[in-house]
Structure 1
Amino acid sequence: MNSAAPRRGLQDLPWLLMGLTALFWAGNAILGRAVAGQVPPLALAFWRWVVGAAIILPFAWPHLRRDLFPMLRAWRVMLALSVLGIAVFNSTLYIAAQSTTALNIVMLQSTMPVLIVAASFLLFRERVTGRQALGIAVSMAGAVMLVTRGDPGLLARLDLNRGDVWMLGGIVSYSFYTALLRRRPAVHGLSFVAATFLAGAALLLPFYLAETLSGRPLPLTPVAAGAVLYVALFASVLAYLCFNRAVALLGANTAGLAVHLVPVFGTLLAVLLLGEVPRAYHGLGIVLIGSGIWLAQRRG
């Protein structure tokens, strides 16, 4: 008599996990742009991780007691992951949203899959084929198209939009975070997320205090509360659990393809909710980025 096949839960469906990750991240970019000027960027980033940690700690606590020492032994990797993926990436996204469009934010994130390949090579000397190198170059040409708004002469004049430059820097940071996930200690996913959230909040605390003392405190308004709740629950707890699980199931390079869906969801949300209008350079930039990703991921 054949035994029944084991049931697969949502945590074992990597493509669903990647889709949810992309949807939550696209919503994060749209919300960051929507509240620009109302919610200070570092305040939003700091309280995102504080509230996110508060949400997840009750579920993570039984595992944390067992996993604390393995994470402390790997403190260098844990610190690097907390800096790259928690403190830096999301702060730069919210800073970028102050001066660039949501469309540019989500489309620039399309470069992440090829930048993950580059980061894997730089960190671990993972082999990069000639086709992958060409794909990285083509994809970055698409990013330049977006950053320069279709006018490469801006590079010569150094007249770039600061928000786009901030966003591109954040994407580089998250690419290294994704590549470095292979070195994370073998602990429960809830323990890992809770620990990195707490470390990210601690790293951001002095910058948040400096922003507040400079005259930009977090306003006690329904808009600010709603923004913090969304980024803490959906863009933090749920998105990071989904993405980290997808990396564990598929590997960093494949799971990074989830970012392909961010501009799809993000463009729809930006047009419907923010009234932003796609331009010709958006189309050309995304074609170049998509072509570069196809080259980088295609097997010989």
Structure 2
Amino acid sequence: MARYIVGTNRGKGLGGPPRLRCGEIIIYKAYALLALTTLFWAGNSIAGKLAVGHASPMVLVTARWASVMVVLYVFKRGQIATDWQVIRSRLRYLLLLGALGFTVFSVALYYALIYTTAINSSILQGGMPLFVFAASFILFSSRIGVEQAVGFAFSFIGVIIIAMRGDLANLIALDVNVGDALMLVAIISYGVYTAALRSKPQMHWTSLIFTLCVGATLASLPLLAVEAVQGETMLPDMRGWAVVSYIVIFPSLLGQVFYIRAVELIGANRAGLFINLLPVWGTLLAVTILREAFHFYHAAALIMILAGISLAEYGGRKLSKHA
């Protein structure tokens, strides 16, 4: 592979812009994908909160993954057929990944939003990198550099600052409600899913997402039936359908594609760390859309989170160079 991406100014002294190495292009591309992914996912928490009282959680989950599955099949069934032999060789693994990363996470998230705020949901999702690190180490014995560990600590401190609302007494007296407990289930499931993507078979992204969505849809149907038996099913009204449309297009389709591609480019540990941006986007969206108050401790926490990401990314680059 060539070491440089060059334009029309190929030689030295031609007055053109500095040439970028292929590795730098890849990293910047991954950064952009992850920034958009976390924005879409933060919007998912806002959308889920707006859906309370307008569509039941299992209706959201089932509609979400079934819709993406159908769209991909309609427009990319030729590619899916081409990859079928690869899919079939790891079908159970891929279906399980879809159930874990898509269904379990979504069910826990949307039910959590009945009991907790959208900003709390976003803040708690900032803890995902801890579980990505742990799962990557347990499953694959992945290396973790000192800078990455310190960077994560910075980011996690930022999350704690928001969680205790700038007052240590709130942390000491913290009572975990049902919503926060469900968010813990959500972030653990997605941390394991992120690390496990490392062992996915090589195939086109549309085939991968389609298969994961099949697993997610199959896992959603029994839970939808339970919700119906309990008499808690709520079909979407106008706002509910608007929420479903956003969730299907952005967090579900574009977000998953961007995230999987970023993991391929820079690895699960480095990609997972960017989930710390969720509190940033979540806070901004909650303030803008849900009109929640923004305090000084929010600013301090967000600075810590961004500083932690920068430090951990620096450590990730050092590990990559010495690998």
TM-score, structure 2 normalization: 0.79
Equivalents in 1 of 2:64, 2:159: separation in Å? 28
Give the length in aligned residue pairs.
293
Q: What is the match of residue 247 of structure 1? A: 263
Choose the corresponding residue for 1:112, options 128, 137, 147: 128
**Residue 230 (1) aligns with residue 265 (2):** no
Q: What is the match of residue 173 of structure 2? A: 154
Choose the corresponding residue for 2:234, options 218, 232, 236: 218
1:250 deviates by 1.8
Instruction: Report 1:90-239 matches (<5 A).
Output: 90-129=106-145, 132-133=148-149, 140=156, 143=159, 151-154=170-173, 159-239=175-255
Q: Compared with structure 1, are the counterparts of its residues 163 and 146 closer, same or farther at alpha carbon in structure 2 (3 Å cutoff)?
A: farther
| TM-superposition CA deviations, 1:223-254 (whole Å, max 9, x none) | 12111111111111111111111111222222
| TM-superposition CA deviations, 1:8-36 (whole Å, max 9, x none) | 999x9323222221221111111111122
Equivalents in 2 of 1:285, 1:119: separation in Å? 26
Contact 2:101 2:190 in 1 (8 A): yes
Please tell me the root mean square deviation across aligned C-alpha atoms, in Å.
Answer: 3.0
Bigger-Rg structure (1/2): 2
Q: What is the match of residue 77 of structure 1? A: 93
- Other structure's SS at 1:57 match: helix
Contact 1:28 1:231 in 2 (8 A): yes
1:127 deviates by 2.4
Equivalents in 1 of 2:302, 2:228: separation in Å? 37
**Residue 17 (1) aligns with residue 36 (2):** no
Q: What is the match of residue 72 of structure 2? A: 56
- Other structure's SS at 1:152 match: helix
Equivalents in 1 of 2:157, 2:103: separation in Å? 27
Equivalents in 2 of 1:296, 1:19: separation in Å? 16
Equivalents in 1 of 2:151, 2:274: separation in Å? 17
Q: Compared with structure 1, are the counterparts of its residues 147 and 241 closer, same or farther at alpha carbon in structure 2 (3 Å cutoff)?
A: same
Equivalents in 2 of 1:220, 1:153: separation in Å? 40
Contact 2:119 2:283 in 1 (8 A): yes
The percentage of aligned residue pairs carrying the same residue is 36
| TM-superposition CA deviations, 1:75-111 (whole Å, max 9, x none) | 3431331122111111111111111111111122222
| TM-superposition CA deviations, 1:195-238 (whole Å, max 9, x none) | 11111011011111111221122324111211111111111111
Letter of the aligned partner of 2:66 in structure 1?
V
TM-score, structure 1 normalization: 0.85
Equivalents in 2 of 1:126, 1:209: separation in Å? 40
Contact 2:50 2:243 in 1 (8 A): no
Q: Compared with structure 1, are the counterparts of its residues 27 and 124 closer, same or farther at alpha carbon in structure 2 (3 Å cutoff)?
A: same
Q: What is the match of residue 276 of structure 2? A: 260
Instruction: Report 1:26-45 matches (<5 A).
Output: 26-45=42-61
Q: Compared with structure 1, are the counterparts of its residues 168 and 282 closer, same or farther at alpha carbon in structure 2 (3 Å cutoff)?
A: farther
Q: Compared with structure 1, are the counterparts of its residues 39 and 147 closer, same or farther at alpha carbon in structure 2 (3 Å cutoff)?
A: farther
Equivalents in 1 of 2:154, 2:260: separation in Å? 28
Q: Compared with structure 1, are the counterparts of its residues 198 and 218 closer, same or farther at alpha carbon in structure 2 (3 Å cutoff)?
A: farther
Equivalents in 2 of 1:5, 1:134: separation in Å? 38
